[in-house]
Amino acid sequence: MPLPTDTDVSTPKHLRDKYAIVGVGETPYTRGSGMTTRALGTWAVRNAVLDAGLTAADVDGMLSYQSGDSTFAPFIAGDLGMRLNFYMDVFGGGSSTEALMGMAMGVIEAGLCRTVVIFRAMNGYSQVRIGGTGARSAAPVSGDTLHSRAYGWQSAGQMFSFTFMRHMYDYGTTPAQVAAVRATHSAHASNNPKAYYKQRVTVEDVLASRIICKPLHLLDCCVETDNATAIIVTSAERAKDLRHPRALIRAVAGRVCKPRADMHYQAGPISTVAGRYAREILWPNAGVGPQDVDVTGSYDAFTFTTMLQLEDYGFCKKGEGGGYVSDGTIRLGGRRPNNTSGGHLCEGYTHGMNMVIENVRQLRHDVDDSCPVGPDGRRRHTYDYSEGGCRQVKSCEVTANLGWANPGTGSAMVMRRD
């Protein structure tokens, strides 16, 4: 069996710029939504439809993913009076958003439907927590989990820590460099009224917070919240008639990168993750490279997952991720800001989707909801990114979203402004 590096990574280029994201929607990021995941999903999908300027009759496809919670597409379609021509609910994790973008493009390309909405709904704080606390921690341990959970190796942080620890060993990466990701994202979130955590924290704050599992401190971990998000995909042609500037999809990639998608085996060093392999499809498909990207959206379940993705997708050399995330490059006002909404670390956790929504808004040039209001009552873009300032990135033309599920699977998407 060939390893991923040996497989044919040439992909058809005719899908480049053929599809666009035309609507995005979400519910507030809370802890204690007070409603079901079905209700959350319904409101997020409705908000996305309205954002696009569409009606229920225009949406004929729905995709979603979950792992143990959420709701199903037919329920939400029924609640909103949608008659779907295609739907699919899959089991999935953090790399599902970008992978389902590819699926949405595929079903439209195949003629199964014309406009597809992708949603993720989760009471990720008050009900099923990804970290495995509550009911999940008491579930019987059998099968593959006898080689992980039986050893107290269960939460995402515990699972991924081996990779982080080995990266420090291999490359001399320091905890302070990685903590800079949280400090940076918290500064971004302070300009985001939607963010659950708006308070700015420093590198010292991160390092002084209690250890959860070495090398992860409490503030290295993302904020679990209750919320739903939704994204609408249609053809670039059809998108011309809609409300917003088109966020054109340059490329998507979804790749399994090891002989086994678990934490034990690797094709390559364990401090290298799936982005290293997904990028072999992503960049040639997109026709642009990391140097062309204005804004990145990493899957920041933890500070170090951001560092690893940025490194393995080629935004810096392997082993230099610690420097890249701490030298100011990823800050608002820096060369290539990352997670301008605050991401999972500060805005909220919707399993990969909220960073895509943020990048769509960056491409529309309308991330103005926190800009100062002038005497005429209108928002003023300041670009000084100080507390209470804007977070719109100047001349944002190309964005990249980097998904993460485990070190063995990676999905990513590149978009550009029309």
What lies within 8 Å, CB to CB, of 64 at 6+ separation is: 41, 70, 71, 72, 73, 88, 89, 90, 100, 118, 119, 120, 121
**Region binding another protein by CB under 8 A among candidate stretches 49-57, 209-217, 225-233, 378-386:** 209-217
314 binds another protein (CB under 8 A): no
Tokens of 350: 């919707």
Q: What CA–CA distance (Å, rounded) separates 46 from 26?
A: 9
Tokens of 92: 């999935």
* Closest CB 145 distance from another protein, rounded Å: 9
Nearer to another protein, 206 or 390 (CB): 206
378 binds another protein (CB under 8 A): no
What lies within 8 Å, CB to CB, of 183 at 6+ separation is: 200, 201, 202, 203, 205, 206
**Region binding another protein by CB under 8 A among candidate stretches 19-27, 160-168, 194-202, 278-286:** 160-168
131 binds another protein (CB under 8 A): yes
| Residue 4 C-alpha from the chain's centroid | 23
* Closest CB 76 distance from another protein, rounded Å: 31
Tokens of 71: 């709701």
**Region binding another protein by CB under 8 A among candidate stretches 62-70, 91-99, 105-113, 266-274:** 266-274
Tokens of 209: 């917070």
* Closest CB 203 distance from another protein, rounded Å: 12
Q: What CA–CA distance (Å, rounded) separates 82 from 62?
A: 10
6 binds another protein (CB under 8 A): no
Pairing between strand 226-235 and 19-26? antiparallel
135 binds another protein (CB under 8 A): no
* Closest CB 329 distance from another protein, rounded Å: 24
Q: What CA–CA distance (Å, rounded) separates 321 from 216?
A: 17
**Residue from 166, 198, 238, 365 binding another protein (CB under 8 A):** 166
147 binds another protein (CB under 8 A): yes
212 binds another protein (CB under 8 A): yes
163 binds another protein (CB under 8 A): yes
33 binds another protein (CB under 8 A): no
Q: What CA–CA distance (Å, rounded) separates 49 from 23?
A: 6
Is 324 an active-site residue?
no
138 binds another protein (CB under 8 A): yes
Nearer to another protein, 16 or 129 (CB): 129
* Closest CB 168 distance from another protein, rounded Å: 7
The DSSP line for 282-332 is: HHHHHT--GGG-SEEEE--SBHHHHHHHHHHTTSS-TT-HHHHHHSSTTST
* Closest CB 248 distance from another protein, rounded Å: 38
* Closest CB 149 distance from another protein, rounded Å: 7
Helix (H, G, I), strand (E, B) or coil at 417: strand
What lies within 8 Å, CB to CB, of 372 at 6+ separation is: 379, 380, 382, 388, 389, 390
Contact pattern for another protein over residues 52 through 81, marking x by CB under 8 A: ------------------------------
**Residue from 70, 97, 115, 161 binding another protein (CB under 8 A):** 161
383 binds another protein (CB under 8 A): no
107 binds another protein (CB under 8 A): no
Question: What's the number of CA atoms in the CB half-sphere (13 Å) around residue 181?
Answer: 35
**CA-based radius of gyration for the chain:** 20
Is 171 an active-site residue?
no
19, 29, 196, 299: which one is catalytic?
299
153 binds another protein (CB under 8 A): yes
User: Residue 94 gets which letter from DSSP?
Assistant: T
User: What is the spatial order of strands in the sheet that 86-91 belongs to?
Assistant: 86-91, 61-66, 115-123, 226-235, 19-26, 247-256, 409-417, 398-402, 295-298
Nearer to another protein, 55 or 137 (CB): 137
**Region binding another protein by CB under 8 A among candidate stretches 59-67, 115-123, 134-142, 297-305:** 134-142
19, 65, 277, 349: which one is catalytic?
349
Nearer to another protein, 85 or 148 (CB): 148
Chain residues in the site for another protein (CB under 8 A): 1, 131-133, 137-138, 140-144, 146-155, 158, 161-163, 165-166, 168-169, 174-175, 207, 210-215, 259-260, 262-270
Which residues are catalytic, by number? 299, 349
